[in-house]
Structure 1
């Protein structure tokens, strides 16, 4: 009999199953069993549940997961910039297929936290600064995933919009305040209006003094009672801090292990702090989750595949999300006849970033080289020349030493305390690369002591060039590094959290600059101790070391000489393409950005190249807006590629060549420097302080008088040879049906076909309004394709109350005041009248 055969959609059957569970079995179902799975109850046919990150690529979790690939779609900011509900629905369906390849029942995503500040480290895996755009696009992905029997688990409910101190910071806002209701919680309302995810993940942080995992107002009151959500609620990993309050608040599942539950919860029941009947609701919720994901339950090994349909979709998403930000004098698309000699500058031209870092990253089966694609594209023209120079380095950490430079085996030996005389290793092995990464205990080898042990790594390094080079060690414990029996670097144990270890390697990387000779062998002897104590709160303790090396990076004139080579290439070219931006080393889960300028010497390089270039276009990679003020007026074109996934190289090149007309629109405002945003001065979290949303409702384009500080606004994006016009805007209010209908004619009087994003904003009533309201708010959108000379009547419908109401903090309800409002679409504006005031509070 299949293990899922006893899980049925019949409510009475689930209740009967519940009655057969022992107390111990009920408790076991309320916590994870492995890092990415929950336990089952085999005797009753209750299967385990396997979960996996993320919507940008279903991450493998098997024994060889570090080496296993999976289809890598563009990051979520790129998805949002498509503004395309239908396309993201197709992505959801493909993710369901990918999840089944990994034997996954629940996809942990999409992430719908708001882009509050452009320094948010995890913004790349979120959609937008706007709650409606975030919720509607996320809902499309959820519906696509769940159409094929796999579950989706949107995250993080709520206010996880910063990575700094994310496990502990406290948002000093009431869940009944306007800021949370109209921006942060509103994204979830929009999501739940159009989709019904099987689960919702609760955030790490506190809101109004309470951790989200034990916040009754947020979970039991708003999510469950007011909005009527009946799916499962699960914690973020290691985000539960107590045993009884999360049960009362409505948290169903603690992940990844039973830290506050398990034996502690059994003891709480026995001491009558929790009634056994109180466990029935979360257990029932998790049984329903299994029922809803029944088609995805299978007992099969994980696998990956090259799927042409998925690859084509990855390309469509990337090319649809790329945003053309500047195109003076139609410098783009590239014309090999007009500009036959092309200089390509930047490391990202040959090794482009495809994703940000952390749990939303994945290893693609392939990536593409934009420089090589451009060279191939113009090879047919015998007069064309395409030349590439890497120029300045962009890496935030020193890369792992190439094995080609290691001329003896990489040997590692482990030693347990107390040390014998002479010390005797408990285990010795040969490594393929000088890299060890473990989270435990237990470790591998399993008998390695988590405290007091140490390891020794030996090999031989033979540089290929003579110069001052950089040798580095990423380490979890105190270490000593010796070259040819001479100690050259000793560093104490770094202050480190598990999250730091997973996502922020620069925090535990120690470097030294050394003069080394080409072809000369240097014996390496690296001794590292275990950490002096285990991590708190049940988190796994890291035990890792990585030997890193980079040649020729320590000389004072390194950046200068690399900039000079780029300038020379640009001087001899008709057009220069600079590939710049950030990688997963700069934008990642686990930390926020210190600023939004280009990393390293990239801005200086662009300025210097611009002095020599005849024409210059900058292609930017990243998830967050980038401060372009130092150089944007000196360049002719700017293209924002986001983190575009495995097909991003081809998509970028096709946009540059005009094979694809850019049709992406910004989902987040680009400010003239980080100081322009409303959150500046209130971000990020600081130790010992509560987090204040001092900007209130002024997030992104909602900020009062935001225009003067904006470089490129929310919804902005250019095309090639398209010129869209709007006319004949009509608005109809049907108060009896609770809807606002608007229709507008959209035309393309340009010379090329293209896609336009029709954005419908509601301008709130101005006369006699009791509270301040933003000048405009997005309330509907759609994307249309138009041929040259074509026009189309586009119709959109909005929920009347959702379009016109604000949150009344005193009465704790939504309030729609009667009066005159306006709809704005493009350059068209039309007023409409709401005849009756309404108070309401539901989804």
Structure 2
């Protein structure tokens, strides 16, 4: 039954098709004859990126000023559902004030590998935490009548070749890791939109994937909203529509609308499928268009203070030897590092926000009661050695009681469209730390960056203090000062694992997929699911974070699926603790993680105060996905329920016995000896094939194969002189942009390199026709006719 059946019956076929793509870069089409309005969408997800001038999806052109909140990777360290919901609500209010009906976020792809260039936009390596926090943000956004648009559905695990890469992943890992966060969001927060990802999954593009869309999203999860392509993410328009992808963005100047009309006319597309898609679009438009009729004036200072609060609650104290923090009044403090003067507070790409205000840590520290003896830049921000900068910093450090060193990743290191090359900090920063430690041992490092780093200076003999701000938004400086001075007791805990070196990462041998495919040979064993299960030491475990106080756990009681326990603040200052609940199957017979996060609670306690915490579980907490039964299953037996301050700091334990459900031997340990033995970084073709259930395609391109519409300019270098010239020209432009210090523009050259030839006609609105592209491909393939 269609909600808008009467209205749809009045529409022509051409009008129906027109609603399936945009009017321009950010707006849907309106049909004035039938009083159907258009709505505006904007990028997010940690701020409103509404462009008043030239539009783009890469963060290159200016947007109107808006509050820049901490990124998802930062907010995730708060583990605070209420806070994340409030941030969503504040985001939505700014949307309403600018007549924006939908914001494109939150991003909730699972952090398969710490090198992913867009990890700063994603919450966690854990699907439970991801789904919980993303649900909170969606709820907050939609409480103001604005549509949220979780993204990127699904398995968008790398930026390199993201528009064509084929993510090869087994069904169980797909369900338990890469789809679970989305499932929780759909079932708990009912988002009005969902964005499909660019990539293929097991050979089929995500936006036209019948199993992913029709069978799982719509049938199993009963999703009621609209699916929109990522910008330029449409492959075959009619195939996408059949799979349940209603809206293509941005506009294609009617090119794909015509394809839909022709398909209906020729009988290749049932008009009933188009009608259902139109019905979903009308529901979205009429529901969210109301924001354009609301007048709402934003108190930008109030929104800024919310950004400060969010930043404070998300910063993580990683090391505090000899209680070097908090700092005390009148201490002689040297401030070193370019990031102190020019803060790094957000990522780059489609989430680049133009903040309403921004202060630096340096200017705020100079206003405190600290005796700031001076500031030294210390290193070149974009890399490169400088003995003079190091010398100035060392001389300054020798005159101070303590040294605050601001380090991190620069703006070119983390961005949409490109993955990181390494987890190492730049050599010039590491050299600076080594030289500073020779003259002063009282060093606190303040890190800025969107994710995991190798931290050799955090060893026992290294720096004494370490605070990770992540990318904390426009309020980052004020929040940091409050943490450093003890005005706020840090409560953040890591939502991802920190290995000692990149070589310890389970997917390191397989990541990224360089050409045709990206093989998820590690299966279920990503992040802590690998490190904890296989006893691989890490620098900092999942869920880790220090406080200026201490907490004691006691008196665990389980009643059915409800677990209660006490937490006491045994220290001298008020603080917040994040108690985490992990489930471990005793004597398991199947390949699985040793334990998994299935609940948590964040609680504030005054000194000496005790509170009772209750965490409720459900059947899903004990389940794994059975491919054989095409359903969730439970292995019979005893499960340990563990309560801890982090994954590696378990304080309390109880047990529960579960009955079998859909149990089989399909994942028994003896069937997968390599996974069972922990040899995750060297899984053989044979065992991976067994896990997949089919023979994986070739991982590399064949230079001898002709290039087609789904190939890219990056592949052109393998062809004749014309292909090499095309590739070389693009790379020359990138080099020039790097030389003139335009890192964002330089990085986004990869968007051009990795764009499929099929998108050229659509992105140019037909100015470069498909026939011209096909002619170019014939030439590049050596056919000059």
SS of residue paired to 1:224: helix
The structure that is strand-richer by fraction is 1
Q: 1:748 and 2:569 equivalent?
A: yes
Q: Paired residue for 1:295?
A: 290
Q: What per-residue deviation string (whole Å, max 9, x for no partner) do you get for residues 269-322 of structure 1? A: 22221132220111111111123314313499xx99652221111011000000
- The Cα of 1:193 is off from its aligned counterpart by 2.7
Residue 373 of structure 1 aligns with which residue?
Answer: 364
Correspondence for 2:224 among 210, 221, 230: 230
Superposed, 1:751-770 pairs within 5 Å as 751-767=572-588, 769=589
1:492-503 maps to which residues of 2 (within 5 A)?
Answer: none
1:671 corresponds, among 485, 491, 499, to: 499
| TM-score, normalised via structure 1 length | 0.75
Describe the shift of the 1:706–1:836 C-alpha distance in structure 2 as closer, same or farther (beyond 3 A): closer
Between the aligned partners of 1:830 and 1:95, the Cα distance in structure 2 is 41
Q: Are 2:91 and 1:95 aligned?
A: yes
Within 1, Cα distance between the matches of 2:33 and 2:580?
54
Q: Alpha-carbon deviations, 1:44-92, whole Å to 9, x = none?
A: 1111121111121111221277163111001111110000001111111
Q: Does 1:66 align with 2:62?
A: yes
Residue in structure 2 matched with residue 355 of structure 1 by the alignment: 346
Alpha-carbon distance in structure 1 between the residues aligned to 2:339 and 2:197: 34
Q: State the partner residue of 1:505.
A: none
Distance 1:649 1:304 in 2: 26
Contact 1:571 1:614 survives alignment (8 Å): no
Question: Displacement of 1:647 after TM fit?
Answer: 0.6
2:126 aligned with 1:130, yes or no? yes
Structure 1: which 5+ residue stretches go unaligned?
1-10, 397-552, 734-739
What is the TM-score normalised by the length of structure 2?
Answer: 0.80
- Contact 1:315–1:651 under 8 Å retained in 2: yes
CA 1:269 to 1:299, structure 2 compared with 1: closer, same or farther past 3 Å? farther
Q: How far apart in 1 are the matches of 2:399 and 2:181?
A: 51
Q: Give the CA deviation at 1:262.
A: 1.3
Partner Cα distance (2:360, 2:597) in 1: 38
Deviation at 1:102, TM superposition (A): 2.1
Cα distance in 1 for partners of 2:211, 2:660 equals 30
Q: Separation in 1 of the partners of 2:406 and 2:105?
A: 30
- Residue of structure 2 aligned with 1:699, choices 526, 541, 549: 526
Q: CA separation of 1:213/1:787 partners in 2, compared to 1, >3 Å: closer, same or farther?
A: same
Residue 187 of structure 1 deviates from its aligned partner by: 1.2
Classify the secondary structure of the residue corresponding to 1:154.
coil
Decide which of 414, 429, 452 is 1:625's aligned counterpart. 452
Q: Distance in 1 between matches of 2:325 and 2:431?
A: 23
1:255 matched residue in structure 2? 249
326, 333, 337: which one pairs with 1:342? 333
Matched residue, 2:733: none
Task: Note the alpha carbon deviations across 1:326-360, whole angstroms, 9 max, x for none.
Answer: 000000000134xx211100111011011000111
The 3 A distance-change label for structure 1 pair 74 and 162 is same
- Identify which of 394, 411, 432 aligns with 1:605: 432
- Superposed, 1:431-442 pairs within 5 Å as none
Q: Which residue pairs with 1:795 in the alignment?
A: 614
SS in 2 for 1:280: helix
Which of 613, 617, 640 lines up with 1:822 in the alignment? 640
Quick one: distance in 1 between partners of 2:43 and 2:82? 22
Kept in 2, the 8 Å contact 1:343–1:573? The answer is yes
Partner of 1:781: 600
14, 22, 27: which one aligns with 1:32? 22
How much does 1:630 deviate? 5.1
Match of 1:147 in 2: 143
**Contact conserved, 2:494 with 2:541, CA < 8 A, in 1?**
yes
Shift of 1:107: 0.8
1:833 equivalent to 2:657? Answer yes
Matches of 1:30 and 1:67, distance apart in 2: 26
Question: 1:84 and 1:332, CA in 2 relative to 1: closer, same or farther beyond 3 A?
Answer: same
What's the RMSD between the two structures over aligned residues? 1.9
Once the two structures are superposed, the pairs formed by residues 388-407 of structure 1 within 5 Å of their partners are 388-395=375-382
Cα offset, 1:656, TM superposition: 0.6
Distance 1:246 1:35 in 2: 19
Map of 1:587 onto structure 2: 414
Aligned partners of 1:758 and 1:783 also within 8 Å: yes
Q: Aligned in 2, Cα 1:718/1:299: closer, same or farther, shift over 3 Å?
A: closer
| Structure 2 unaligned residues grouped into runs of 5+ | 55-60, 645-650, 665-785
Q: Measured at CA, do residues 643 and 777 of structure 1 come closer, stay the same or move farther in structure 2, by a change above 3 Å?
A: same
Decide whether the 8 Å contact of 2:238 with 2:259 is kept in 1: no
Q: 2:33 — aligned with what? A: 43
Instruction: Report the Cα offset of residue 139 of structure 1.
Output: 0.4
List aligned pairs for 1:619-698, cutoff 5 A.
619-629=446-456, 632=459, 633-688=461-516, 690-698=517-525
Q: For 1:357, what is the secondary structure of its paired residue?
A: coil
Distance 1:319 1:684 in 2: 34
- What is the CA–CA distance in structure 1 between the aligned matches of 2:162 and 2:97, rounded to whole Å? 32
Distance 1:588 1:796, change over 3 A: same
Deviation at 1:210, TM superposition (A): 0.2
Counting matched residue pairs gives 649
Q: Deviations over 1:707-737 (max 9, x none)?
A: 53310011000011x111111111222xxxx
Query: Partner residue of 2:393?
Result: 566
Give the secondary-structure state (helix, strand or coil) at the position aligned to 1:612: coil
Q: Counterparts of 1:597 and 1:799 in 2: how far apart (Å)?
A: 40
CA contact (8 A) 2:552 2:568 kept: yes
Q: Distance in 1 between matches of 2:393 and 2:161?
A: 40
Query: In structure 1, the residue corresponding to 2:536 is in which secondary structure?
Result: helix
Q: Tell me if the contact between 1:356 and 1:583 (Cα under 8 Å) persists in the aligned partners.
A: no
Residue 134 (structure 2) pairs with residue 307 (structure 1): no
CA distance in 2, matches of 1:678, 1:618: 28
Moved more, 214-223 or 802-811: 802-811
Q: C-alpha separation between the residues in 2 aligned to 1:780 and 1:706?
A: 23
Which one is further off, 575-584 or 827-836? 827-836
Q: Per-residue CA shift, 1:792-842, capped at 9, x if unaligned?
A: 110111112x100111122221101221111000210101111353579xx
Decide whether the 8 Å contact of 1:760 with 1:824 is kept in 2: yes
- C-alpha distance in 2 between matches for 1:304 and 1:667: 35
The equivalent residue for 2:311 is 318
Report deviation, 1:566.
0.9
Match of 1:268 in 2: 263
The answer to whether the Cα contact below 8 Å between 1:198 and 1:292 also exists between their aligned partners in 2 is no
